[in-house]
Structure 1
């Protein structure tokens, strides 16, 4: 795999049982690239290591006044320099390719897992941790996977040079052959402590990233309650903890680096002292002494890769552990599907709660617990967080459908939809049936003022469809974001559309028009709306009231308000003692009941504002 061929057609199925197993799986899946890197690395390191032998041969030829020997040494030196240049160039190319392709594979795996899990991902793993894994961690993982082949080439080169020195000059070669392994393993006792400090640093950095992500996501709310300084102080403290942990980790790695400089220097002094002694006694020539001395000097270069691989593993291990944790998460239901990919149609039925939404009708669902409503909405879309009785669409369990087919049949818009940055045209460019025009969807969602605001905020956009939306729609109000998200859902025109509190952030007049627009645009299609708004409930074909986890009542809004006290308490936000007696409600007509409910909502809004 080359960089220009990315992304992978299929990144594969990772071994996510542990961090080291995941790293090994990545290495095995890039075996051809690793072998290329190893081959070019051997050419590079062997060429560098052969230069001292060429220099020694040239010095000895000059001492012996041998023109032929000097020419041969010069030719070998030119060949070694060419090998060094070619090997270094293509080693760098192969190493960068391995790094980027490994990081890209991990990012593809994470993206596929996030798409598979859907909203269940952030309930099981913090959003900040997902961000940390998909950004900084993939770089650390790619670094180790790439460095492994270079380290192998360096280690093989050191072994070859040691063997060559023993054969070339046994007296000094034995000293080098014994000293170099000592240099390589001298820092091993320090690695566990360095690894632990690196783990602490990464852990604290991950927590700081989570805190920063959560703070940015809730900045509008924090400003509203004056809490931004509190969270900024928390982030400052977390940042300082990261800094202290990084300094402690850097001190340990600095100590390891110092040892990697000190010990080769001691070995070099030893070789020079002993070599001079042997040369004085006439046991070795000047050229041989120069060769051994230069070899020790040159070998400090591949020795640095021992330190690099230790650092790469120490930093990548916690990153791989976090990535493996995310990749090991599974859906509560089957994702492959055991039925044909064709999406079914018909009535939507949840046997666990007794919820029944007839095909082609607008069904409103009232639930006293908003969190329970959100979980049920996801369950209706085939995204349950826990396994259980499957939801049926046209009598077909959604669990038995392939994931893409199930999501194409049922679309769930949760109460906090996300708007991606880009133009409005790009926002509405989603997989759709093509039966709903984007402008009709915008009209149904009452987005007229939103389009005007987008055009006014854009410098060069005359057409509202070309106006740009900032990240997560932060320049828009909560109600404006909610209506754009509703328009996007209406454009898709799925067989079943599940809306969780789609109008919770808009005023009552706009809400009434949205209710009518959705009803008209979704005529003949199945729509389920989770809401407690009387304006939406009154325009629904039927209302289902859930008390706890089961259906407690079914009917139309006007009848349920009169006959079901628990329903009335949820819709009017009153306790049963505060609710109007049934005989008084019987005396009121439908318009009067709606008027009282709207007045109650207006009073609550005034109280919240105050």
Structure 2
């Protein structure tokens, strides 16, 4: 899905067409319910004219039986029609949530640009729910229209002037309701934007709660969220006022319309143009029409909110990808050779580097931005602005990002853990045919075996969302064990030991070297323990490669290297 992705209207059409069976069934049953409701006052009028006025018991009982059958029919129609509508709304919202999650986790990226995680969550929940409700609104709208048509036909049979009043007045009311829904649509979109932003800020603050407490920034965080929440409240109140104005105006216009129908019917009865029973039917139908017209008011409001939410969903689904998949394929047996020629991206400039198959390469950057730019290019979250990166002679630009990540794993510093067990987190990316002992070996190499010993139930210990039940050092070791257990031909790790002590770090450095023997490994770090086990170290200084040599030689040669690694 690139820039030519779906629009908001496309999303709405998809919701309705995707649930057309339930929408059609619900509309049919709802129409039956509304038709039955419209027939009730008609039957009451018939009872008055043919049974009550004549004083005969048999016709009265017969018409009451007919009335009972109509009540049973409309009751069951509403029950099963509403069930079909609810099913359509929930299934449509579910389909949208799946599509949104699929787009967000797409290896090509791009959907998250300019959006906080909390904002994406809001779109996948509240907006998807609002758009899903449109399927039910279609059903209720069709049912209400059927009720109006039946009422108009009956009124035309009773009196042509009464029928014309309904047939002329109904489109005018619908048009007025549509015009009144426009401000609600605009303000609903602003409300959802602000609510999503507030949700994103809240998620951001909760994720960094420990850091905020550590630096004593709680008051600043509270002030920031208070401002964001206040903006969201203002937008919500504006949308609520617009909805209240719309509902009030539509209700007023509807009341005037019903009064006109009753007035015309009463005048006709006084003039003797219609019978007493027909007058009762006409007044009953006028009161009945209040229901469908109120439904139209709700449908208009729901469509207004649905259109605003559909536009936000379409914005995510149509977000242009960060990278475009190529159609090239990697060799069946990868050697793990990497080659960078003239690579420039962000702060990086003219990077030329060859990584031999099976080499353990250290990369020490004096500026963290250089390391971040290199990692983005290697994982193909972004393509280099200049130059080319090749894996076994195939340019990464020509490969599908999903294929790249099956061959080369880039484990970033801030990798999160998932809710589940300790062992489940370690084996999350492991090959399906992996030896069960491989996970234990990876845990031992990463020092995560000590984590298993330190927590109740060992490898079966429960890990909470994002690994918050573990300490920072424990999370790092489990994340590194997961990267090692994935057993990719090429592994790139970024600062995997910043939260562990020096003794554990030295053990991890040795373990990583041993478990990755014969496979290409790149250690992007300033840890002297990790750099010391590398075959050689590349020094990135000022966005360029300043030197390449073993760790000990770089310590002697470059003050910048000593400052970055030993300070």
Pair in the same fold by TM > 0.5: yes
Distance of 1:223 and 1:513 partners within structure 2: 31
> Shift in Å at residue 359 of structure 1?
1.4
Output aligned runs, 1:150-299, within 5 Å: 150-299=140-289
SS at 2:455's partner residue?
Answer: helix
Distance of 1:386 and 1:361 partners within structure 2: 23
- Aligned with residue 413 of structure 1, among 411, 414, 435: 411
**Matched residue, 2:319:** 329
- Between 438-447 and 382-391, report the one with greater CA deviation: 382-391
Distance of 2:252 and 2:333 partners within structure 1: 69
- Between 254-263 and 489-498, report the one with greater CA deviation: 254-263
**Matched residue, 1:380:** 378
Distance of 1:120 and 1:504 partners within structure 2: 29
**Residues 178 and 378 of structure 1, relative CA distance in 2, 3 Å threshold:** same
**Matched residue, 1:484:** 478
Asked if residue 439 in structure 1 is aligned to residue 440 in structure 2, the reply is yes
> Shift in Å at residue 518 of structure 1?
0.4
CA contact (8 A) 1:532 1:571 kept: no
Distance of 1:119 and 1:506 partners within structure 2: 32
Output aligned runs, 1:125-140, within 5 Å: 125-140=115-130
Distance of 1:118 and 1:477 partners within structure 2: 32
- CA shift digits 1:61-111 (9 cap, x unpaired): 122456675466335423422331222122122111111111111111111
SS at 2:415's partner residue?
Answer: coil
- Aligned with residue 560 of structure 2, among 543, 548, 569: 569
Q: Which runs of 5+ in 1 are unaligned?
A: 1-11, 456-462, 574-596, 602-610
**Matched residue, 1:537:** 531
SS at 2:106's partner residue?
Answer: helix
- Between 14-23 and 277-286, report the one with greater CA deviation: 14-23
Distance of 1:66 and 1:338 partners within structure 2: 89
**Residues 190 and 437 of structure 1, relative CA distance in 2, 3 Å threshold:** same
Output aligned runs, 1:141-156, within 5 Å: 141-156=131-146
Distance of 2:72 and 2:295 partners within structure 1: 22
**Matched residue, 1:459:** none
- CA shift digits 1:396-451 (9 cap, x unpaired): 23344444332211111111010112221221232323146222212111134423
Distance of 1:102 and 1:42 partners within structure 2: 22
Distance of 1:162 and 1:558 partners within structure 2: 93
CA contact (8 A) 1:128 1:210 kept: yes
**Matched residue, 1:23:** 12
CA contact (8 A) 1:333 1:387 kept: no
**Matched residue, 2:513:** 519
CA contact (8 A) 2:116 2:197 kept: no
Distance of 1:515 and 1:176 partners within structure 2: 83
- Between 45-54 and 93-102, report the one with greater CA deviation: 45-54
**Residues 330 and 182 of structure 1, relative CA distance in 2, 3 Å threshold:** closer
Distance of 1:53 and 1:284 partners within structure 2: 13
| RMSD (Å) for aligned C-alpha atoms | 2.7
- Between 143-152 and 487-496, report the one with greater CA deviation: 143-152
CA contact (8 A) 1:15 1:21 kept: no
Distance of 1:383 and 1:393 partners within structure 2: 15
> Shift in Å at residue 343 of structure 1?
7.2
SS at 2:547's partner residue?
Answer: strand
SS at 2:363's partner residue?
Answer: strand
SS at 2:93's partner residue?
Answer: helix
Q: Which runs of 5+ in 2 are unaligned?
A: 344-350
- CA shift digits 1:112-139 (9 cap, x unpaired): 1122147755444322221211222211
CA contact (8 A) 1:374 1:414 kept: no
SS at 1:196's partner residue?
Answer: helix
Distance of 2:113 and 2:452 partners within structure 1: 34
- Aligned with residue 40 of structure 1, among 22, 25, 29: 29
> Shift in Å at residue 239 of structure 1?
2.3
- Between 288-297 and 382-391, report the one with greater CA deviation: 382-391
CA contact (8 A) 1:512 1:536 kept: yes
Distance of 2:338 and 2:154 partners within structure 1: 77
**Matched residue, 1:60:** 49
- CA shift digits 1:534-577 (9 cap, x unpaired): 221111012223345544433322223334x3xx404423xxxx
Q: Paired residues, what number?
A: 555
Provide TM-score, normalisation by structure 2. Answer: 0.90
CA contact (8 A) 2:370 2:540 kept: no
SS at 1:506's partner residue?
Answer: coil
Greater RCO, 1 or 2 (C-alpha within 8 Å, sep 6+): 2
**Residues 193 and 255 of structure 1, relative CA distance in 2, 3 Å threshold:** same
**Residues 30 and 354 of structure 1, relative CA distance in 2, 3 Å threshold:** farther
- Between 366-375 and 548-557, report the one with greater CA deviation: 548-557
**Matched residue, 2:452:** 451
Distance of 1:390 and 1:432 partners within structure 2: 29
> Shift in Å at residue 275 of structure 1?
2.4
> Shift in Å at residue 173 of structure 1?
2.1
SS at 2:336's partner residue?
Answer: coil
